[in-house]
Structure 1
Amino acid sequence: MLKQFIFLLFLCCSLNLQANEFFSKADINIGKALANQHCVSCHASSYGGDGSEIYTREFAKVKSSKGLLAQVRNCNTMIGLKWFEDEE
């Protein structure tokens, strides 16, 4: 049991470090404004309601920080936002 706990603790710390690597220079307020302006309406039209179900659906595509960045880049390209890399 203790070995499993230590493994899970190590895994959680590793994932946190990975997230910090991708988003260490992120500005949460700018990101929220960009998401509200460009993402929420698309998510709502695809999933209904306020669009938040996209984040909690059973078969979510995004499961990591790296996956989130890839999905944002995909959406940026698909809907022609022309965001710079630091805006993604």
Structure 2
Amino acid sequence: MKLLQLKLCFALVAIFGLNLYASASPDIANGKKIDEQKCYACHAKKTGFGNGDMIYTRSDSKVKNLQNLKSMVAMCNTELRLDLFPEDEADVTAFLNQQFYKFKK
């Protein structure tokens, strides 16, 4: 009986450990997809030029560091009810940082 419990315990640790490892690194491709589907159109309207990317590269950007970027993505998710999971927020943040901001991690 104890051997069975021990095997079950190791199996659960292995399964959950792999899931934690998998979610530890952001999925840039997923972040890009979410940006295109849920962010770009609204940002294109806000800039007034039909180019959603301009919001990330404007000179008066409120985003000055990686923490600001994370907070802004989270705020957009909450305020606009985008229904993103925390992992999705991390993916979007990673994509935007790689594509536009280039903040050090």
Report the TM-score when normalising by structure 2: 0.58
CA RMSD of superposed structures (Å): 1.2
Counterpart of 1:10 in structure 2 is none
Following the alignment from structure 1 to structure 2, what is the Cα–Cα distance between the partners of residues 50 and 32? 15
Following the alignment from structure 2 to structure 1, what is the Cα–Cα distance between the partners of residues 58 and 51? 14
Please say which of residues 33-42 and 56-65 is displaced more in the overlay. 56-65
Query: How does 1:24-35 map onto structure 2 within 5 Å?
Result: 25-35=25-35
Moved beyond 2 Å, runs of 4+: none
Count residues in correspondence. 65
Note the C-alpha offset of 1:67: 0.9
Counterpart of 2:11 in structure 1 is none
Unaligned runs of 5+ in 2: 1-23, 90-105
Task: Provide the secondary structure at the position in 1 that maps to 2:73.
Answer: helix
Report the TM-score when normalising by structure 1: 0.68
Unaligned runs of 5+ in 1: 1-23
Note the C-alpha offset of 1:31: 0.4
Counterpart of 1:71 in structure 2 is 72
Q: Tell me which structure has the larger Cα radius of gyration.
A: 2
Q: Deviations over 1:37-74 (max 9, x none)?
A: 00100100100222111112121011111111100000
Following the alignment from structure 1 to structure 2, what is the Cα–Cα distance between the partners of residues 58 and 33? 25
Give the share of equivalent positions with the same residue, in percent.
40
More relative contact order in 1 or in 2 (CA 8 Å, sep 6+)?
2
